[in-house]
Amino acid sequence: MKRIERTGMIIRVLTENPNKLFSLNYFTSLFDAAKSTISEDIAICRKIISDMGDGEIVTVAGAAGGVKYVPRLSDKTVRQFQQQLSERLNEPSRVLTGGFLFTSDIMFDPRVTKFAGNIFATKFMDLNADYVVTIETKGIALAVMAAEALNLPLVVMRREGKISEGSTLSINYISGSTDRIQKMSVSKKSMHPGTKAIIIDDFMKGGGSAGGMAEMLAELDVSTVGIGVLIATREPKKKRVDSYYPILYLDNDPEDGRITISPNDESLE
């Protein structure tokens, strides 16, 4: 292969496998090229990715080292995505009977969830988490993309336990949106004690679901180190969780027949 072909392939391999470490031997074998040649190719790839502004190629030293692509979005890139998504969500036709906001087309749009996953990965990259955790159903697509970007396993908590999951742990929690007692469960084999997790969900009003997941993790001796949601309501200001990062804010209650969705201006730093 010519250098331009090798660099294109290297960028493709790395960006399609974010946060996965590849040894130099992998690429020397793939291209039948010397390590010095591959090192020069990677230097070119690093500059290209840096110039694009949506991540970086990191070199890890040592016998078990190599290179990996780390998605790191700039605030400018995130603001553009937030603005475009806000415009889609601010359509009056999204207000459903009963004051519900229709978001299914957004939550299951792979272009939206992939970009949102990269935002969460950028925000939570340095927390050294071991798992990404969500609760069924709408948050799963978001959590899958975040888990892929962070190169972490995904754990899905269920409303009801499944026999196929073996022994499970269940808790009752108070829904932040309805103030009703609900139930969630998770397989005891899904996570190891003494580890750390990031919670990802689609929507937060009172923080009941996120708070319930954090309580469940604590029961498993797993620390919650970050919480990310696609949309959070401005009110109530006091949630059932102390700290969280929303990509967008819902500024008013859809029950009044209108919607105002705005970007979260908080920096990812």
Q: What is the CATH number of the domain that holds 84?
A: 3.40.50.2020
Same domain, 115 and 34: no
Instruction: Classify residue 268: in a domain, yes or no.
Output: no
Name the DSSP letter for residue 205.
Answer: S
Same domain, 43 and 116: no
Count: domains in the chain: 2
pLDDT value of position 255: 63
Same domain, 79 and 187: yes
Instruction: Classify residue 137: in a domain, yes or no.
Output: yes
The continuous run of DSSP H or E covering 88 comes out as helix 75-89
Same domain, 46 and 113: no
Task: Give the CA angle between residues 88, 91, 95 to the nearest 5°.
Answer: 120
Number of Cβ within a 10 Å radius of residue 47: 12
Instruction: Classify residue 269: in a domain, yes or no.
Output: no
Half-sphere exposure of 50 (CA within 13 A, CB side): 8
Same domain, 117 and 15: no
Same domain, 115 and 29: no
Give the residue from 13, 46, 70 where a domain finishes: 70
Same domain, 62 and 154: no
Same domain, 83 and 186: yes
Number of Cβ within a 10 Å radius of residue 25: 11
Same domain, 221 and 152: yes
pLDDT value of position 187: 94
Instruction: Classify residue 175: in a domain, yes or no.
Output: yes
pLDDT value of position 257: 67
Q: Which domain holds residue 193?
A: 75-263
**Over the stretch 241-262, which tens digit does the pLDDT of each residue have?**
999 999 999 998 766 667 899 9
Question: Tokens representing 69?
Answer: 């692509």
Question: Tokens representing 53?
Answer: 């502004």
**C-alpha distances in angstroms, 200 versus 18, 75, 103, 211?**
18, 20, 16, 12
Q: Residue 216 and residue 7: Cα distance in Å, rounded?
A: 45
Name the DSSP letter for residue 101.
Answer: E
Instruction: State which residues of the chain have pLDDT below 70.
Output: 176-179, 254-257
